[in-house]
A = this chain, B = another copy of it.
Amino acid sequence: MSTNIICHSSSAGSSDGGSSGNSARTPNQAPKPNEPSKRGRAKTRRDNEQLILQAAECIFAEHGFKGATTSQIAKKAKLPKANLHYYFPTKEALYRKVIDRIFNIWLEAASAFDDCEEPADAFTCYISKKMDISRNHPMGSKVWANEILHKAPVIHDYMQTTLRDWTDNRVKIIQGWIDDGKMAPVNPKFLLYMIWATTQHYADFNYQINTLNNGAPLTDEQFEEAKAQAIKIILTGIGIPVGTDRSTDATPCKSGEVPL
């Protein structure tokens, strides 16, 4: 599952996650040798790595790479610091793993353009997916934002390859729609920036949004309204008619999978 484009170090471990409640040090009950991933040392290792990654994502998001400390992360994961360093030898290795997870989530949303023929569907689906990511993975988005804010020392080479290729391809698709008269003539890149900015704002700046919402996070209804409005303004703005009857959170593109 994990592509490991960014990470180059150690411990693979595809995520499956039938995570049962208690994780640490349960006495082995009936160790089936045929199912090595469900019980025993392999499972313990996987569980602990996931525990650490989860905690790390949270701490890195809140404090940045430098601001985060391995002690904090270990404490959040309820493990001794030395144990954390047993699984992830350095802070940077751990950070790269966190970034890698986020990148894979991002890639998933990016597929929207491949699954849709018409710009109306493509943009609706893409914006919707990006908004859902901001809702469901705000921490990951923040780590990402933080990384780019600080000159992307870790994902630098990725940006020059994968991101650039992806963007160039989508620019061509959008330009094709423009040439076909399906949408207003805009600069596709600047349009993509607007979509990225608007959708990720709900993750990266959620603290500000909450403050302006009387200190409370947006309710599901409010968030759906925000999503619908983002879609409506952008689509209208690029000359694509928006039917008011169209359901917002439905994904009109071919593939019906959940945006994660």
Contacts and interface: CB of A to CB of B under 8 A. Distances in A.
Interface of A: 61-67, 142, 145-146, 148-152, 159-160, 163-164, 167, 184, 186-187, 189-191, 193-194, 196-198, 200-202, 204-205, 207-209, 211-212, 225-226, 229-230, 232-239
Contacts of A148: 204-205, 207-208
Given A159-B208, A208-B159, A212-B163, A194 B230 contact: yes
Contacts of A212: 159, 163-164, 167, 189
A201 B190 contact: no
A111 B146 CA distance: 29
Nearest to A194: B198
A193 B211 contact: no
Contacts of A63: 66, 150
Contacts of A194: 198, 201, 230, 233
Contact of A236 (B191, B201, B237): B237
A230 B196 CA distance: 13
Contact of A191 (B66, B191, B233): B233
Given A66-B67, A198-B198, A212-B167, A152 B207 contact: yes
Counted per complex, copies of this chain come to 2
B211 A160 contact: yes
A192 to B, nearest CB: 9
Given A151-B207, A159-B211, A159-B212, 7 more contacts: A64-B67, A142-B149, A152-B207, A194-B198, A197-B197, A232-B237, A233-B234
A239 B236 contact: yes
A201 to B, nearest CB: 4
A255 B194 CA distance: 28
Nearest to A167: B212
24 contacts: A64-B67, A64-B146, A66-B66, A67-B67, A145-B145, A145-B204, A148-B207, A149-B205, A152-B207, A152-B211, A160-B211, A163-B212, A187-B225, A189-B212, A190-B225, A193-B202, A193-B205, A193-B226, A197-B205, A198-B198, A232-B237, A233-B234, A236-B236, A236-B238
Interface centre among A62, A149, A167 (most CB of B within 10 A): A149
Contacts of A61: 149
B150 A226 contact: no
